[in-house]
Amino acid sequence: MARRWRLPESLRSRLAGVHGRLVEVEEIDDSRMLVSVGDYCSQVLLDAGLRPQIVVIDMKTKRGPYEFRIPAEYVVVKVENPAGYVTEELRRALEDAVGKVKDGQRTLIHVVGEEDLAVPPLLPLLERGSQVIYGVPDSGMAMLVVDDALKGRALEILEAMVQEDE
């Protein structure tokens, strides 16, 4: 039986809004580890010539369909993850993608469902200094630079999620 973790209502307000800082594409340094979460912001990065090592999308933006153009150099991994949850399948795909960065592999994780909660399980896996770019509806792109404090906050969120068996 697969496990999944549900975001309780009490945590929703903690995750809402902008974390990190809003950035323009020109401010992003792709010489360091770069991860993008969200269709529109990932496409903006790719169109600007930036190549995140890991891209997480769900083929939707603002809950509507989005025609994402997947570059040929990405290995595509498809996982299921319903809204409001983090599935074991998503966690495993994130771990695998981070592990394969060292081999030079770029991974695109196509989430069937919703990718909104991919950032908390991703942050503890990344090296300090890694950049995570994610979309903020009607505001643009936000950037998180991974440090120990950020990893700790992500672990707190994961620990507070409610584990369920599917």
Determine the Cα angle at 116 with ends 114 and 122, to 5°: 115
User: Domain range for residue 43?
Assistant: 34-161
The DSSP secondary structure of 10-23, one letter per residue, reads HHHHHHSS--SEEE
Whether 21 is covered by a domain: the verdict is no
pTM passes above 0.85 = yes
How many domains would you assign to the chain? 1
Residue 102 lies in a domain: yes
Lookup: tokens for 165 = 């068996």
Can you tell me the distance from the alpha carbon of 67 to that of 87, in angstroms, rounded to the nearest whole number? 24
pLDDT in tens, the chain (166 residues): 689 999 988 877 666 655 789 999 999 988 899 999 999 999 999 999 999 999 999 988 876 778 888 999 999 999 999 999 999 999 999 999 999 998 999 999 999 999 989 999 999 999 999 999 998 888 889 999 999 999 999 999 999 999 888 7
* Number of CB atoms found within 10 A of residue 96's CB: 14
CA angle 62, 2, 111 (to 5 degrees): 25
108 within 8 A of 55, measured Cβ to Cβ: yes
Please provide residue 68's backbone torsions phi and psi, each rounded to the nearest 5 degrees: -85, 135
| 152, part of any domain | yes
Decide if 3 is inside a domain: no
Does residue 74 lie in a domain region? yes
In a domain, 40, yes or no: yes
pLDDT, position 133: 96
In a domain, 67, yes or no: yes
Q: Is residue 142 part of a domain?
A: yes
What is the model's pLDDT at position 17?
54
CA 83 – CA 114 distance, rounded (Å): 5
CA distance 143 to 50: 14
